[in-house]
Amino acid sequence: MARQPAAHESEPQASPEDGGSSLPTHLFRQAVEQAALAISITDARANILYANAAFQRITGYGQQEVIGHNESILSYHITPKLVYESLWAQIQRQRPWNGLLVNKRKDGNRYLADVTITPVVGKEGHTTHYLGMHRDVTEVHRLERQVQNQKTLIESVVDAAQVAIVLLDEQERVLLDNQEYKKLIGDLGKEPAVRLLAALRAQMGEAYTKAYEKHRNIAAREVFIETPNRPARWFSCATSWFEEHDVGADAFYDPQRRHYLLLTIQDISELKRQQEALRINSLRALLSEQERIQGLRETLAGALYQLEGPLNMLSAAANMMGRRREAGSDLPASGAIEEAIRKSREVLETLRACIPDQGKEAMQPVNLNEVLADVLKLATTSLLGSGIVVEWAPTAESAVVNGHPAQLTNLFKQLVANAVEAVNEQRGGQRELRLSCRSRPDHVEVFVEDSGPGIADELRFKVFQPFFTTKGASKQHLGLGLAMAQEVVSRHGGTIDIDPEYDAGCRVRVQLPFATGMNHAQ
């Protein structure tokens, strides 16, 4: 049976051998007795000789219930044998051991003990006793695990997300990312977040700087990224900030905050492509409807013009007959002719009323760069089919005019269709179409050039007349295309002409005045 060390009031004072302390020995005992840590002293076989009050509090065993018992009274089978083996191997080498053991209280409840065992070595160099100290760290462990579980959960959710998520510090260094973001690195190169933030900055300007400095969130915005030799990509980007309190020891009494930027990126390129295809399709439908109306207008106007000739001749004949009647020589058919003229005029009026309206499209600022890009998209199939090389040079300055978007699109669509047809007429040689847009001091100038046979000098003005065609009596060519183009240009206060100096094919020049309040500097 182990004996509990007796406490004597008259214990000797500590000597220099005791570490130079001048404290009385009983003070050491009191300190151990009242310590908040569970402290026990065992013999060399782990039989308990002494246990302090905290030991009793934590384990539930009274002093007399543990004295003489082995420390294994606390062991719970869930702690692997290997742990005990390494514990013993360590302390038998006279080295302190520290580790976590699952202990069982007197009432059977388990707790996690952070245990430190220190061998007490006697004068002969043998381990005579062991000093055991432990504390209940169940709650700390629970919290640690909870944090770990939450971290794992958040990481799994973030990783499984269909959007790219990346966390950056204030220096835009990536701290955390997910699988979708890693895919973007493969597509856009390193570092996609930095590229996207730069694009966002360029797009938003001052507003971005302010939001960044004040750590304000930015709601989803569409960002366009161009990479050489790859299709352009669209992303929807949103930023949100959060702050973290510094966990370093220095910040315990002097809290420091760090700010982190969470960037979520959604690839919307496919959606954008679909939207663009939809827009081009509806534009195509709108234009063909407008073309149909325009064709009808021109045809009816042409027919009216053609019918008015003979009718005017009939009117002249009727006038002549009228004068004869006044002179007393009435012709029997004169009444019938006058009736026919009256009826014909009624029919002409009915026909005139049938001319469809131009459409109610309002005048608005129209960017000719965008119109021409759309026209090229609309003509893609015929350009590819004809093997025509296209050169497109938009202006870097403003190309905004005041106009009807669909009419202007139709105008350039007509000019491009003419150019394609002209190139197709040519056998061999260059097959080129060049579109360019330039800003002049008070107007925008567009050139449509083709490498076709060109237009003879004497026809440069005639080609703009209605029903004039160089293609013979082919039904497909009413000779209204350029006439319509001229009508649209005039309606917009501009001019259209064919460059007489150009001898490598045909070059049509369209000049349209800037929208009010716009000039080339804007």
List residues binding ligand FAD (CB under 6 A): 40, 42, 45-46, 70-72, 74-75, 81, 84-85, 88, 101, 103, 113, 115, 117, 130, 132, 134
Give the start-end residues of each E strand in 213-326.
218-225, 233-245, 257-267
Please give, one letter per residue, the 3-state secondary structure of 346-413. Answer: HHHHHHHHCCCCCCCCCCEEEEHHHHHHHHHHHCHHHHHHHCCEEEEECCCCCCEEEECHHHHHHHHH
User: Closest approach of Cβ 139 to ligand FAD, in Å?
Assistant: 18
Cβ of 506: how many Cβ atoms within 10 Å?
A: 23
Q: Which two tokens stand for residue 166?
A: 């990346």
User: Closest approach of Cβ 58 to ligand FAD, in Å?
Assistant: 10
User: Closest approach of Cβ 59 to ligand FAD, in Å?
Assistant: 8
Q: Based on CB atoms, which residue is closest to ligand FAD, 117 or 498?
A: 117
Whether residue 354 contacts residue 300, with contact meaning beta carbons closer than 8 Å, is answered with yes
Q: Based on CB atoms, which residue is closest to ligand FAD, 100 or 204?
A: 100
Q: Based on CB atoms, which residue is closest to ligand FAD, 74 or 379?
A: 74
User: Closest approach of Cβ 215 to ligand FAD, in Å?
Assistant: 49
Whether residue 243 contacts residue 258, with contact meaning beta carbons closer than 8 Å, is answered with yes
DSSP string computed for 177-246: E-HHHHHHHHHH-S-HHHHHHHHHHHHHTHHHHHHHHTT--EEEEEEEE--TTS--EEEEEEEEEEEEE-
Choose among 112, 110, 115: nearest CA to 99: 115
Q: Based on CB atoms, which residue is closest to ligand FAD, 70 or 358?
A: 70
| Distance (Å, whole) CA 352 – CA 367 | 35
* 3-class SS of residue 52: coil
User: Closest approach of Cβ 134 to ligand FAD, in Å?
Assistant: 5
Q: Based on CB atoms, which residue is closest to ligand FAD, 58 or 463?
A: 58
Q: Based on CB atoms, which residue is closest to ligand FAD, 50 or 234?
A: 50
User: Closest approach of Cβ 76 to ligand FAD, in Å?
Assistant: 7
User: Closest approach of Cβ 77 to ligand FAD, in Å?
Assistant: 7
Whether residue 481 contacts residue 417, with contact meaning beta carbons closer than 8 Å, is answered with yes
Q: Based on CB atoms, which residue is closest to ligand FAD, 140 or 384?
A: 140
User: Closest approach of Cβ 101 to ligand FAD, in Å?
Assistant: 5
Phi and psi at 481, nearest 5°, equal -55, -55
> What residues contact 399, with CB distance under 8 A and at least 6 apart?
367, 368, 369, 437, 439, 444
Q: Based on CB atoms, which residue is closest to ligand FAD, 115 or 423?
A: 115
